[in-house]
Structure 1
Amino acid sequence: MNSTITLSQLGWQPVFQQQLTLEDYEQASIARILAHHRNGYALLTENGQTTLEMHHSLPAMTVGDWVLIDSDNRFIRLLERVSLFSRKAAGAKVAEQFIAANVDTLFIVCSLNQDFNLSRIERYLSIAREANVEPVVVLTKADLCQDSEEKRLQVQDLDSMLMVEVLNALEPASYTVLETWCRAGRTIAFMGSSGVGKSTLVNTLMGGSVQQTGSIREDDSKGRHTTTSRSLHFMPSGAVLIDTPGMRELQLTDCESGVNETFADIEALSKQCRFSDCQHQSEPGCAIQHALETGEADLRRVQNYFKLLREQARNTATLSEQRDKDKQLGKMYRTVQSHSRQQKKGY
């Protein structure tokens, strides 16, 4: 990486510039987060790379965020984001995990072999719509599939306006269809399950080996998990690329509008029900049940719609409860510390 780089090459946009004052320009440096490590953040400014040590006073941040730092590389403030991808942390842990920030286009990568899953694509579409980020579905491994066009049409049926591209690893020229979104100054992100060919795709677009790639396990046609951390790279086209680890679990949180937009057809049907509080089960005048009976609606899609709505509502409530507990705990700690200081002054 060059020792110097311009803000535009970093993905700087007018919306961030509007957040700065003349004093900011005179006294602070603008930096973008390249990577998030256990002990801190790797930052890149126009003068080169630096680090920001982890501290409890820092706000939650992630790859792609813009921050202001002083001459001693100390944190000043986080700039307001134009987009943010997050999820409920995997497993039983009650926490929200940030994935990437300030992304313009999300490439949702899904392979056409046994990994192909419409419900999973809808899940990724929901977080893209929630973040107000343009989604592009990228179907990989067409060389390992005999019905690639049929599957492409299945994805297109999810939304007639959705951009869907099919790639063949044996035909590198097929990757050129993605160049439209990889323009200079744009920030793109790749998300998908482990082993869908995401690392191979990233390496091809970068013109070199950025991520290690894994071979296919022949017993189940699934690839090996190779990308282990989120990272920011600079493409030959001038675009900024954020790669993310393959996700075995993408639990939605605070994503109701994104789900409703992804399933706009079913959401529209629900508003035609006779009763405003219809549960869409066996109530008379349920427009969704009627659409299922007539074949107008797809059962898999309807079931996934309600599944994702329930999931995001449950996770949002759980995280909100945890945040309230953390606030109360922090308040108690501050009270104890204040009381302790007062006692010491009394001696």
Structure 2
Amino acid sequence: MCKSIFLSELGWKPFFQQQLSLDEWETVHTARVMAQHRSQLALMTESGEQNLPVTANMPPLTVGDWILLSQTNQFVRQLERSSLFSRKAAGSKVDSQLIAANIDTVFIVCSMNNDFNLNRIERYLTLANEAGVEPVIVLTKADLCDDPAQYVQQVQQLDPMLMVEAVNGLEPDSASVLSSWCRHGKTVAFLGSSGAGKSTLINTLQGSEIQQTGGIREDDSKGRHTTTSRSLHLTPAGGLLLDTPGMRELQLADCEQGLDTTFADISLLAEQCRFSDCQHNNEPGCAVQLAIANGDLDERRLNNYHKLNREQAFNGATLAERRANDRAFGKLCKAYQKEKRRQKNG
């Protein structure tokens, strides 16, 4: 059993406190979801750790959520989230998958080797910007890279205002540049593909090996999965770190605002195009194509923007159709039950 802890150490803020009624202050206690398993949730309360069985009457929950428990430790309700990361479920399944909730900062982790990928960084940035969470690009394996500065420069060209740090995740002194985001009560999520060094960084910032780590394949510099589930960890400095399994298939859905923020340079150029519905291909008077011709915009960036835009629009429409079908089926079931009751009472 864990020693008692203050809610502020778990990330409790006025945003959550204001959601409780006076009655609830006296009859319930709060808990944060620290890990999610198939049939139960690992929670942390002021009194310490406890498990909560997942039941059918509970809403979909994810790591980082705040919930209210009764005096007998039964689920009461979920508190509104300050931020939420989600994606389209992997594979052909038409559904959305919750990744993490109530995050303050996201470390987008990418290694400085053959697996370095600007397109993937832009994909993660879109997810972070859609969630309204501060992104920090963390470039790892600086000890194995001859010229870290050139990788930092490439990322900085995406947006001069982006925070970018190059680190050796094995060295505490190198990783200490990230400590300002991991201070008391702050929740930081680590996103990135397998082998990028997320678990190694968490272990270094934690000061102990709490996450299993693995090497990378020498033939393509791609990593092996080591983290298999999402979990929150308290740090000695008082922050909370959330590791996530490597996600190469990160399908976007309903991320229009996140895309506009991530590709703000393209959105700004689009306002100068001759036609308001310009697709930035071969239309006359296209300011975006002119910027590419002048060397002010990378064609790779425009191509990725088009790709992500098509993807999020398609997946968003598919999910919307699924939700509409679910609502229609629910109404049909209610109508059937109502008719059965009418016949029984008639």
Name the TM tier (shorter chain). Answer: over 0.9
| Equivalent residue letter for 1:209 | E
- Alpha-carbon distance, 1:345 to partner: 4.9
Cα distance in 2, alignment partners of residues 169 and 40 from structure 1: 32
1:228–1:245: 8 Å Cα contact kept in structure 2?
yes
Residue aligning to 1:33 = 33
Number of residue pairs matched by the alignment: 346
Residue aligning to 1:159 = 159
Residue aligning to 2:58 = 58
Residues 26-66 of structure 1, C-alpha deviation per residue, up to 9 Å, x if partnerless? 01111111112211322221122233322333222210011
Q: Gaps (5+ residues) in structure 1?
A: none
- Alpha-carbon distance, 1:159 to partner: 1.0
| Equivalent residue letter for 1:111 | S
- Alpha-carbon distance, 1:192 to partner: 0.3
Residues 275-303 of structure 1, C-alpha deviation per residue, up to 9 Å, x if partnerless? 11112111111111111111111100111
SS of the aligned residue for 1:137 comes to strand
- Alpha-carbon distance, 1:81 to partner: 1.0
Cα distance in 2, alignment partners of residues 9 and 117 from structure 1: 35
| Equivalent residue letter for 1:62 | T
Residue aligning to 2:127 = 127
Residue aligning to 2:287 = 287
2:195–2:225: 8 Å Cα contact kept in structure 1?
yes
- Alpha-carbon distance, 1:120 to partner: 0.6
Cα distance in 1, alignment partners of residues 296 and 166 from structure 2: 27
2:95–2:319: 8 Å Cα contact kept in structure 1?
yes
Residue aligning to 2:147 = 147
Q: Does residue 1:116 correspond to 2:128, yes or no?
A: no
Residue aligning to 1:205 = 205
Cα distance in 1, alignment partners of residues 45 and 239 from structure 2: 16
SS of the aligned residue for 1:190 comes to strand
TM-score, normalised by the number of residues in structure 2: 0.96
SS of the aligned residue for 1:223 comes to coil
1:51–1:73: 8 Å Cα contact kept in structure 2?
no
SS of the aligned residue for 1:337 comes to helix
Cα distance in 2, alignment partners of residues 232 and 332 from structure 1: 41
- Alpha-carbon distance, 1:20 to partner: 1.2
Residues 112-145 of structure 1, C-alpha deviation per residue, up to 9 Å, x if partnerless? 0111001111111111111111111000011222
| Equivalent residue letter for 1:68 | L
2:83–2:102: 8 Å Cα contact kept in structure 1?
yes
Q: How does 1:246-325 map to 2 (within 5 A)?
A: 246-325=246-325
SS of the aligned residue for 1:210 comes to coil
SS of the aligned residue for 1:193 comes to coil
| Equivalent residue letter for 2:327 | K
1:227–1:245: 8 Å Cα contact kept in structure 2?
yes
- Alpha-carbon distance, 1:73 to partner: 2.2
- Alpha-carbon distance, 1:169 to partner: 4.3
Stretch deviating more after TM superposition (82-91 or 306-315): 306-315
| Equivalent residue letter for 2:35 | A
Cα distance in 1, alignment partners of residues 56 and 314 from structure 2: 28
Residue aligning to 1:79 = 79
- Alpha-carbon distance, 1:175 to partner: 0.6
Cα distance in 1, alignment partners of residues 85 and 215 from structure 2: 29
Residue aligning to 1:193 = 193
Cα distance in 2, alignment partners of residues 313 and 100 from structure 1: 22
Give the alignment's Cα RMSD to 1 decimal: 1.5
TM-score, normalised by the number of residues in structure 1: 0.96
